[in-house]
Structure 1
Amino acid sequence: MPEARPLDPFRSERLVYRAVNDQPQDIAFIHSIQRDAEAQSGSSYALLRPESIKASTEFKDRIEKCLLGALICLPVTGLAEKDSETLPIGIICLKATPLSHAHHRNSDISIDIAKEYRGQGYGGEAIRWALWYGFQMAGLHRISIETFSFNEGAMKLYERLGFTCEGKHREAMWFNGRWHDDVVYGMLEDEWREEQRKAGNDV
């Protein structure tokens, strides 16, 4: 269910969201996410291959160019006012669109959660936060998210979060000897605000 935002716009119920810093521990975390073959096969069209530190560093640079690019973190002590007091467990982005497309006011969410933290509701919480940020802070009109047809868990999660299945690109991905559909989900600003009103949130 949608939830009210805390006073700190970069916190949700259990999580803290911070920038990716140019420091070894952040690069190492991104590298660990990008090296996860199971996650990458479920979220990218790219041909699966071993991940290099150089490629992970380049991915960090792409995160910084997103409309919103943040590490999903657990607070370790206190109020997590310092980056050193957070434990990264994932990455979430609202992708940037070219300036010539900015008037359309739409974006796509991408999310990766480290393997040991999956299945605990962190992904759904982070997506709800990104929806709030996109509609309430960034003034977006439409936010989409995609998955491949073999990822039934992701499809159920997106529908539970209020996304509408808008269609699919049939047999768009070749992986592990089979073709798979690219399934597209979307949410409009008015739909999000209506859910917020039903939940009694002030938006």
Structure 2
Amino acid sequence: MEHITDDVLNAFSSPRLRYIRADASDAHFKAFIPQIEQDPVIQAFAAPTLLQPKSAKNMESYAENIASSLLGVAVCLLPEEEEEHRRRQEVAGLSEPSLREKSKGEEEDKKPTIIGIMCLGWGGIPPSEAHHRRAAIGISLARPYQNKGYGREAINWMLDWAFKHAGLHSVSICSVSFNPRGVHLYQDLGFVLEGRRREVAWFNRGWHDELEFGMTEREWEVLRGAKPM
């Protein structure tokens, strides 16, 4: 006999990833942030802010905004995926083989491998706007973990969380026109191009467009074959 809770047994993970709530006081979470915030390419794709090295205060503010979001998570590798990633790195000669003589205690104390940060409703949704039941997704993956399908998997997980558990009616995600991979990914995931703000992003001595993509609850239901509410 199936129970209504059977569907949420693995609600905080997907096939290769797990999602841990962002905590602005967690040293392990905060130690990861420079991998994305100090990467100029990730900066350029993630936000319209001025391209510049970030200070400790900037990164503290970033951590607080992620933690204050409707849902902010550290995107982490599941243990079996972590082992597979390590094996691929060793085969490619990109890392040293792991030390087999590690003690059991050391293995148990090992922190999860964070590969990115994702949020829904950056900084939190004001109560005066909650009735719209809408929020935007933001995601950044560290460079070694890009182009491996992790971003697609994580966004799909966040979409499911938004419509199945948070009761949202629409979810959006933005891109700049000089990020063709992002544009292709969002459309391939089922997002619909809803608007284009022309020449509003100044980057590398050129004007670029900002693109807004959206997905409604009904569109998600069709994609997932879910029963309409």
State whether TM-score is above 0.5. Answer: yes
One-letter amino acid of the structure 2 residue matched with residue 124 of structure 1: R
| Number of residue equivalences | 193
Secondary structure of the residue aligned to 1:42 is: helix
Distance in 2, matches of 1:64 and 1:83, equals 24
Larger Rg over CA atoms: 2
Distance in 1, matches of 2:201 and 2:112, equals 36
Q: Indicate whether 1:34 and 2:37 are aligned.
A: yes
Q: Identify the match of residue 93 of structure 1 among 119, 124, 133.
A: 119
Secondary structure of the residue aligned to 2:46 is: coil
One-letter amino acid of the structure 2 residue matched with residue 97 of structure 1: I
1:27-48, Cα deviation, whole Å (9 max, x unpaired): 1101221101101111211101
Indicate if the aligned counterparts of 2:175 and 2:210 stay in contact, CA closer than 8 A: yes
Q: Indicate whether 1:17 and 2:26 are aligned.
A: no
Q: Identify the match of residue 116 of structure 1 among 135, 144, 149.
A: 144
Q: Which residue of 1 aligns with 2:100?
A: none
One-letter amino acid of the structure 1 residue matched with residue 139 of structure 2: I
1:146-168, Cα deviation, whole Å (9 max, x unpaired): 00001000000001100001121
Q: Which residue of 1 aligns with 2:51?
A: 48
Distance in 2, matches of 1:183 and 1:83, equals 43
Q: Indicate whether 1:155 and 2:175 are aligned.
A: no
Distance in 1, matches of 2:113 and 2:79, equals 6
Q: Percent identity?
A: 40
Q: Which residue of 2 aligns with 1:104?
A: 132
Distance in 2, matches of 1:154 and 1:58, equals 25
TM-superposed CA distance for 1:98, in Å, is 1.5
Indicate if the aligned counterparts of 1:42 and 1:147 stay in contact, CA closer than 8 A: yes
Distance in 1, matches of 2:80 and 2:140, equals 24
Distance in 1, matches of 2:217 and 2:20, equals 24
One-letter amino acid of the structure 2 residue matched with residue 99 of structure 1: P
CA root-mean-square deviation: 1.9
Secondary structure of the residue aligned to 1:56 is: helix
Task: Specify which structure has the higher proportion of strand.
Answer: 1
TM-superposed CA distance for 1:54, in Å, is 2.2
For structure 2, the residue ranges without an aligned partner over 5 or more in a row are 1-6, 82-107
Distance in 1, matches of 2:77 and 2:8, equals 16
TM-superposed CA distance for 1:84, in Å, is 4.3
One-letter amino acid of the structure 1 residue matched with residue 207 of structure 2: W
One-letter amino acid of the structure 2 residue matched with residue 64 of structure 1: A
Indicate if the aligned counterparts of 1:6 and 1:12 stay in contact, CA closer than 8 A: no
TM-superposed CA distance for 1:202, in Å, is 7.3
TM-superposed CA distance for 1:6, in Å, is 6.0
